[in-house]
Amino acid sequence: MKKYSVFIVACLLLLASCNNKPNIQYSVDKFYDLEILRYNVPGFEDLSLQQKTLVYYLSEAALQGRDILFDQNGRYNLRIRRTLEALYQSDYYQALLSEQRATGDGEAVLLEKYLKRVWFSNGIHHHYGNDKFLPEFSQEWFVDACASAGVSYDEAILPVMFDPAVMPKRTTQADGEDLVLGSAGNYYGEGVTQAEAEAWYEQHKDTTDEPLWIGLNSQLCKDSTGAIYERVYRIGGLYGAALEKVNYWLEKALSVAENDEQREAIAHMIEFNRTGDLRSFNAYCIAWVKDLQSRVDYVNGFTETYTDPLGITGTWESMVNFKDIEATRRTEIISANAQWFEDHSTTDPMYKKEEVKGVSAKVITAAMLAGDCYPATPIGINLPNANWIRKSYGSKSVTIDNLVQAYNEAAKGNGFNEEFMVDDAIRVLYEKYGAICDNLHTDLHECVGHGSGKLMPGVNKDALKEHASTIEETRADLFALYFLGDHKLVELGLMPDDKDAYHAIYYQQMMNGLMTQLVRIEPGKDIEEAHMRNRQLIAAWVYDHCEHNEMEIIEREGKHYLQINDYEGVRRIVGDMLAEIQRVTSEGDYAAAKALVETYAVKVDPELHQEMLARYAELHLAPYKGFVNPVYTPVTNRDGEITDVTIDYTEGYIEQHLRYSRDYSNLPDIN
C-alpha cells in the first residue's frame, strides 16, 4: 500500500536543519500538468563502502525492470516509446526541433512534449487519471516525419496513439462496464472478459491459511479453444529477459548483503524471478519483513495491484533506500504505542485487534526509484500486501522524507495557500505546523492506520472488491486524522504543545478533499483514483455530517473558501466516520462501501470544479510531480574492485530517459 502526497505545500521543514544539503536545483522541468523535481540523497556519502556498493547493485537491479511496467501498462507501449525515441534521436528531427525551438512551437516541439509525457506515464495513459492522452501533432505529420527520418514502425501503433476511441483508459472502474475489456492495461490477453477472469481466479483461489497470491505475477490469456491460461512472469516466461538482468544484479547484491536476514530475502526474490513460484514470493515477503537490522533496504518486484482492474496482478516497481536514523525515532515512538492507539480509537471494541503487533516503522531516504515508483512516486510504503503475512509476521512501513523535502522545497512560495486558504490565521498556522503535521499524518497512516482493526470471522479479504483500495486508504487516513488532534501526541513529544497545531492538517485535508484536489481532474471527468476518492470521501462525508456548522464553504468576491468554525466538532465527526469505515471493513459490507464511494467519492460539482481549475490555472503550477534519479558510479581500483560509489545530481530528464532506454531496454517490442 502506498501513500501519495496530495499537495504538499510550502512550509517549514521538520528536517530543515540538514546543513550538508548540496546546492541542487529541485525543479527540473515542467510540461502539461507535470513537474519534474530532483531529490537529494542526504547521508549517502556517510554509508560504509559495503552499503554504498549494495545501494549501487540494487539500483541497477531496479533500473533493469523498467520495460516491464511499460508493457504492463499497455501492449503497444514499448513499440510506441521506441518509435518516438528513434524519431527523436534522428538528425532529421533534431534539426527540425532546433529550428522550431527558436519560435517555441511546431510539431517537433509538440512531439518532444508528448514523448516526455509517455516517459512520465510509462505508457500512453495518464499515470494518475488513467485516461489516454493524445498527441498534439497530427498522424499525417508523424507518418511523414518518420519517413523523412528513416524510422520504421509497426502501423498498429497509429490508431492506438491517435484514435481517441481506441484503448481510451488504462484502468476503468466504470460501473456496468466490463472492467477487463474496458481497460488497456496488459494484465489480460486480448479478448479475455471480466467474467472469464473472475471465474478463473475463483476456481484457482488458494483457500488455505497461508494462501498463495494467485495471479500476482501473471497475465491471463485465452487460447484458440477459448480456454483461459496463465502466462507467468519469470525467467523463461513472460518478461523473462528483463527478470534475468534484474537477477544478475540481485546476485551481486547478495554478495554484499548486510546480514543473513537480508541475504535470505534477496535469495528468495531471485528464486521467485527465476521460477515464478508464488511460494518463493511468500518466503521472500516473510524474510523481508523479518529483516529489520539492515541499513539499506529495497522493494523490487510485482507489488501493488491498483492498475489491474480486478486488483490482483502486481505492477513491477522498485525503490532502493536506506534508513534515516534520526527521523526514524519519531515513527518508533508511534509504533511502540500502537496498542494505545488501537484501544483509544473510536471503533467498536469488537473490531479492534486485541494485540497489535509487528508494525515496524522507519523513515527512509530514497536512493533510486524505478518501475511504478518512477518518475511519480509514493511518499510512504507499507508492505507486504498479503493480509495473512501482515497478521502473522507484521509489516514494514516507511515514510520517505527526502522526497517530501524535495516537494516542499520546490513548492515554497508558489502562491497556492495564498489563493485557496480562507485567511491569514490558517495560513500562518499552516506555515508553522504544516510540515510537522504532514509527516505525522504519514507516519500514523502507515505505522498504525493500516495495521489497525480486524476482520470478523469468515469475512473474505476481497469482500469490498473494487472499492477495497478506496475504503482501506480512507480507514488509514481517518485513523491518522483522528489522532492528530489527540493530546497523546504532545505527551509523546511528537507534536508541539499548542492545542491548535492540528488545525493545520485538518484544514489542509478538508480543503484538499472538498475543493483543491479537483484541479487534478479534467473538466467533465469523475474521480477515479483510489487515493483521490478517499480524500473526497472523507471531506464530503464530514461536511455532510456537520449539523452545527462545524465547517462551511463561504463565498467572497465570487470565490469559494472552506472555513472551519469548530475543529473539535470536526474531529468528533472524523471519529464517527472512522467507526463506520472500520465497521464496513470488518463486516466486509460491500453494499455500504459501494454506497459510500458512489455518494461521496466519485462525482464532482461542475461549477466548483470549473472555479478551482480557473483559479489554479492563474498560478501556473503543475498538480503532479515526478523525479529524476541521481546517477551512481562505482570507482574501481586496478583489480576491478569497487573502492567507492559516487553520486551525481546533474542528469536532466530527457537525458536520463534516453540513457535508460539505451542501457536498460531488455524486452522485445511484443511480449
Question: What's 125's DSSP letter?
Answer: B
Determine the Cα–Cα distance for residues 74 and 185; give it in Å rounded to an integer.
Answer: 5
Of 476 and 539, the one with the shorter C-beta distance to Zn ion is 476
Binding mask 164-203 for Zn ion (x = CB under 5 A): ----------------------------------------
Q: Could you tell me the smallest distance in angstroms from the CB atom of residue 141 to Zn ion?
A: 43
Binding mask 426-465 for Zn ion (x = CB under 5 A): ----------------------------------------
The answer to the question of residue 478 lying near Zn ion (CB under 5 A) is no
Binding window for Zn ion (CB under 5 A); candidates: 76-84, 392-400, 422-430, 470-478: 470-478
Q: Could you tell me the smallest distance in angstroms from the CB atom of residue 407 to Zn ion?
A: 17
Of 508 and 629, the one with the shorter C-beta distance to Zn ion is 508
Is residue 260 classed as helix, strand or coil in its secondary structure?
A: helix
Of 184 and 444, the one with the shorter C-beta distance to Zn ion is 444
Binding window for Zn ion (CB under 5 A); candidates: 58-66, 228-236, 475-483, 491-499: 475-483
Helix or strand holding residue 3 (H, E): strand 2-3
Q: Could you tell me the smallest distance in angstroms from the CB atom of residue 389 to Zn ion?
A: 17
Q: Could you tell me the smallest distance in angstroms from the CB atom of residue 334 to Zn ion?
A: 15
Binding mask 274-313 for Zn ion (x = CB under 5 A): ----------------------------------------
Angular region, 332: left φ>0, alpha ψ -120 to 50, beta rest: alpha
Of 51 and 512, the one with the shorter C-beta distance to Zn ion is 512
Q: What number of other Cβ atoms are within 10 A of residue 622's Cβ? A: 18
Of 180 and 364, the one with the shorter C-beta distance to Zn ion is 364
Q: Could you tell me the smallest distance in angstroms from the CB atom of residue 2 to Zn ion?
A: 6
Binding window for Zn ion (CB under 5 A); candidates: 96-104, 468-476, 478-486, 613-621: 468-476
Q: Could you tell me the smallest distance in angstroms from the CB atom of residue 357 to Zn ion?
A: 19
Answer for the pair 115, 506: CB distance below 8 angstroms, yes or no.
no
Binding window for Zn ion (CB under 5 A); candidates: 1-9, 51-59, 166-174, 223-231: 1-9
β strands within 379-460, DSSP E: 380-383, 395-400
Q: What number of other Cβ atoms are within 10 A of residue 620's Cβ? A: 9
Q: Could you tell me the smallest distance in angstroms from the CB atom of residue 289 to Zn ion?
A: 17
Of 385 and 392, the one with the shorter C-beta distance to Zn ion is 385
Binding mask 323-342 for Zn ion (x = CB under 5 A): --------------------
Q: Could you tell me the smallest distance in angstroms from the CB atom of residue 379 to Zn ion?
A: 11
Q: Could you tell me the smallest distance in angstroms from the CB atom of residue 381 to Zn ion?
A: 9
Of 473 and 486, the one with the shorter C-beta distance to Zn ion is 473
Residue 431 half-sphere exposure, CB side, CA atoms within 13 Å? 14
The answer to the question of residue 234 lying near Zn ion (CB under 5 A) is no
Of 162 and 306, the one with the shorter C-beta distance to Zn ion is 306
Of 303 and 665, the one with the shorter C-beta distance to Zn ion is 303
Q: String of b and e for 369-383 (b: at least 16 CB within 10 Å)?
A: bbbbbbbbbbbbbbb
Is residue 552 classed as helix, strand or coil in its secondary structure?
A: strand
> Considering Cα of 608, then 613, then 619, then 621, what sign does the dihedral take?
positive
CA angle, 385 as apex, 660 and 367 as ends, to 5°? 35
Determine the Cα–Cα distance for residues 420 and 415; give it in Å rounded to an integer.
Answer: 9
Q: Could you tell me the smallest distance in angstroms from the CB atom of residue 486 to Zn ion?
A: 20
The answer to the question of residue 3 lying near Zn ion (CB under 5 A) is yes
Which residue is at the shortest CB distance from Zn ion?
A: 1
Binding window for Zn ion (CB under 5 A); candidates: 34-42, 174-182, 386-394, 472-480: 472-480
Of 149 and 527, the one with the shorter C-beta distance to Zn ion is 527
Binding window for Zn ion (CB under 5 A); candidates: 66-74, 179-187, 471-479, 557-565: 471-479
Residue 396 bridge partners (DSSP) = 360, 383
- The residue count for binding Zn ion (CB under 5 A) is 4
Place of cell 512534449: 113
Determine the Cα–Cα distance for residues 114 and 23; give it in Å rounded to an integer.
Answer: 30
Of 135 and 384, the one with the shorter C-beta distance to Zn ion is 384
Residue 616: partners with Cβ closer than 8 Å, 6 or more residues away: 419, 516, 519, 623
The answer to the question of residue 530 lying near Zn ion (CB under 5 A) is no
Q: Could you tell me the smallest distance in angstroms from the CB atom of residue 502 to Zn ion?
A: 20
CA angle, 549 as apex, 543 and 553 as ends, to 5°? 60
Picking from 35, 6, 22, 1, the residue whose alpha carbon sits closest to that of residue 404 is: 6
Determine the Cα–Cα distance for residues 248 and 36; give it in Å rounded to an integer.
Answer: 30
Q: Report the interhelical angle of 530-544 vs 567-587 (nearest 10°).
A: 120
Binding window for Zn ion (CB under 5 A); candidates: 3-11, 37-45, 54-62, 433-441: 3-11
Of 262 and 382, the one with the shorter C-beta distance to Zn ion is 382
Q: What number of other Cβ atoms are within 10 A of residue 211's Cβ? A: 16
Torsion angles phi and psi, residue 295, rounded to 5: -75, -40
For 489, the grid coordinates are 501526541
Q: Could you tell me the smallest distance in angstroms from the CB atom of residue 537 to Zn ion?
A: 14
Picking from 602, 346, 343, 353, the residue whose alpha carbon sits closest to that of residue 481 is: 346
Answer for the pair 356, 339: CB distance below 8 angstroms, yes or no.
yes
Place of cell 511504478: 372
Burial grade of 617 (CB within 10 A; 0-12, 13-18, 19 or more): exposed
Q: Could you tell me the smallest distance in angstroms from the CB atom of residue 543 to Zn ion?
A: 22
Of 115 and 389, the one with the shorter C-beta distance to Zn ion is 389
Q: Could you tell me the smallest distance in angstroms from the CB atom of residue 339 to Zn ion?
A: 20
The answer to the question of residue 476 lying near Zn ion (CB under 5 A) is yes
Q: Which amino acid is at 247?
A: N
Of 68 and 471, the one with the shorter C-beta distance to Zn ion is 471
Q: Could you tell me the smallest distance in angstroms from the CB atom of residue 311 to Zn ion?
A: 14
Of 469 and 656, the one with the shorter C-beta distance to Zn ion is 469
The answer to the question of residue 1 lying near Zn ion (CB under 5 A) is yes
Q: Please measure the distance between the N-terminal and C-terminal CA atoms of the chain and give it in whole angstroms.
A: 28
Answer for the pair 295, 328: CB distance below 8 angstroms, yes or no.
no
Answer for the pair 123, 170: CB distance below 8 angstroms, yes or no.
yes
Taken as a whole, the chain contains a residue count of 671
Contacts to Zn ion by CB under 5 A: 1, 3, 473, 476
